Structure 1
């Protein structure tokens, strides 16, 4: 059916618009399609990575049960190398740090904790790694160890771990015989811990012992 004059005019305007902007429209649509494909591909890749990482983590757990520390640490190393962006890598590294420390390989334990403190994406694992790293460095007792621990403790505490951050600062002072500063940090930690009802009673008892040791009073 022939077009009337108004319809023909609208069609001509549409053709002119398309001629002028078709490259831009095509480019935008192409970019959107590529973005969607990339997002879908990333989702598949992420799920695939998590699945493979979980299998390797299970291998590590099995090795621990068997008492095969060498295989346990190899699994942790492989998770760091191949699946660093998954939570399994951080979990495995924390466990590996404990295994290494328990057998006297403190340097290896510190390496695992440093890696986790740098790479963990989960705030809980990140906080745990930093706090345990500070403890290991304080126990080492060298000038560089104290300096590294000091730098970590100067960072903004991860939300929910403020009390433990203050407690570790108290430990840092105490081992250097700065009892006045240690007492202040422990008292501040106690106040924070008293507000955080979710912390286990063991944490409160340990902090109370430290407070008593420096003559502090836990209210």
Structure 2
């Protein structure tokens, strides 16, 4: 069936449009396809990484149950090296740091905690790593350790963990026998903690003990 004049004109306009913009259109479509392929590939990689990381984490848990510290640390190290972008890596580093500290290896504990503070993408793990690192440094007690702890505490607190930041600042003061400054930090932490109902009661009891040690809660 022959085209009428109007249809023929529309067809000619479409051909002219395609002739003028076909390279641009083809390029946009190609970029979109590449972007989709890259996204799909990343999703597959991320899922694969998470699965492999979870298996290695299970190996670590099994080693902990057996009391095998060497295998525990190897698993934590491998998770750092091969699966740093998964949540299992900072989680395992926090656990390994605790095991190392309990075994009296403070240097290894500090290494695990420092790694977690630099690589944790989850806010909860990041805050926990920083607060644990500050506590470990305060326990070490050298001038260099206090300086490193001070630098961490000057960072902006992770949202939702402001009370813990203030409490650790109080610990930092108290370890240097600056009781008046420690009392102020503990009081500020108490006010914040009182507003954060999600924190366990144990956290409040511990802070109350610290406050009592420096003169109690301001009324």
TM-score range, shorter chain: over 0.9
TM-score (norm 1): 0.98
> Tell me, which stretches of 5 or more residues in structure 1 are unaligned?
none
Structure 1 range deviating more: 25-34 or 142-151 = 142-151
Residue aligning to 1:34: 34
Paired residues, number = 219
Partner of 1:7: 7
Q: Say whether the 8 Å CA contact 1:170–1:182 is kept in structure 2.
A: yes
- Going from structure 1 to structure 2, the CA distance change for 1:189 and 1:149 (only over 3 Å counts) comes to same
1:77 aligned onto 2:92: no
Q: Distance in 1 between matches of 2:157 and 2:95?
A: 22
Question: Which position in structure 2 is the counterpart of 1:202?
Answer: 202
Task: Give the Cα–Cα distance (whole angstroms) in 1 for the partners of residues 209 and 25 of structure 2.
Answer: 70
Task: Give the distance between the partners of 1:15 and 1:199, measured in 2 at CA.
Answer: 67
Partner of 2:163: 163
The residue that corresponds to 1:60 in the other structure is 60
Kept in 2, the 8 Å contact 1:113–1:133? The answer is: yes
Q: Does 1:49 align with 2:60?
A: no
Task: Give how far 1:115 is off.
Answer: 0.5
Q: Residue 33 of structure 2: SS of its match in structure 1?
A: helix
Q: How many angstroms apart in 2 are the aligned matches of 1:84 and 1:21?
A: 45
1:217 Cα deviation from its structure 2 partner? 2.1
Task: Summarize the Cα distance change of 1:113–1:153 in structure 2 as closer, same or farther, 3 Å threshold.
Answer: same
Unmatched tracts of structure 2, length 5 or more: none
Matched, 1:21 2:38: no
Q: For the Cα contact (< 8 Å) 1:190–1:218, is it kept in 2?
A: no
Residue in 2 that maps onto 1:106 = 106
Partner of 1:127: 127
Could you list the per-position Cα deviations for residues 2-60 of structure 1 after superposition, in whole angstroms to 9, with x for gaps in the alignment?
11111111111111111110000000000000000110111010000000000000000
Is the contact made by 1:211 and 1:218 (CA closer than 8 Å) also made in structure 2? Answer: no
Deviation at 1:218, TM superposition (A): 5.5
- Secondary structure of the structure 2 residue equivalent to 1:156: coil
Moved more, 145-154 or 69-78: 145-154
Q: Structure 1, residues 147-196: CA drift from partner, whole Å, max 9, x if none?
A: 11111111111111111110000000111111111000000011111111
Matched with 2:190 is 190
| TM-score (normalizing by structure 2) | 0.98
> Aligned to 2:160, what secondary structure does the other structure show?
coil
| Distance 1:200-1:39 versus aligned 2 partners, 3 A rule | same
**Aligned Cα root-mean-square deviation (Å):** 0.9
